[in-house]
Amino acid sequence: EDKVVQSPLSLVVHEGDTVTLNCSYEVTNFRSLLWYKQEKKAPTFLFMLTSSGIEKKSGRLSSILDKKELSSILNITATQTGDSAIYLCAVGASGTYKYIFGTGTRLKVLA
């Protein structure tokens, strides 16, 4: 059965810290891995990683896909209180339009 596992489940840090969030997956015919930030209700898109794009960066956020290890990490440097949110990882498989989501990592950044 396809599954996506995220760790840690929750994390509390102080402003300025660097955090690394993990996402591992077991999905047949991997197509893409997506990271979302969910602050209240609607998840907002952060990155998409595929076999042809295994590393993405935007400001203080960056993400790497390790296809050998079937995992991805999301790094946030110099964290700010506005980074507090649930970070969701989702994986899609070729030949299907379904996405399998992990349960998310709840990040809290203290001032």
Counting contacts by CB under 8 A, is residue 97 touching another protein?
yes
Q: Which 3-22 positions form the footprint of another protein (CB under 8 A)?
A: 4
CA 10 remoteness from chain centre? 13
Q: Are strands 43-50 and 30-38 parallel, antiparallel or unpaired?
A: antiparallel
**Cα–Cα distance, 70 to 9 (Å, whole number):** 19
Q: At its nearest, how many Å lie between another protein and the CB of residue 16?
A: 28
Q: At its nearest, how many Å lie between another protein and the CB of residue 6?
A: 8
Which two structure tokens, joined as six digits, stand for 32?
A: 């893409």
DSSP calls for 27-76 = -TTEEEEEEEEESSSSEEEEEEEETTB-EEEETTEEEEEETTTTEEEEEE
**Cα–Cα distance, 45 to 53 (Å, whole number):** 16
Counting contacts by CB under 8 A, is residue 28 touching another protein?
no
Q: Near another protein by CB under 8 A, which window of 17-25, 67-75, 77-85, 98-106?
A: 98-106
Per CB under 8 A, the list member of 13, 73, 75, 101 interacting with another protein is 101
Counting contacts by CB under 8 A, is residue 107 touching another protein?
no
Q: Which residues bind another protein (CB under 8 A)?
A: 4, 31-32, 34, 36, 40-45, 48, 50-52, 88, 90, 92, 94, 96-104
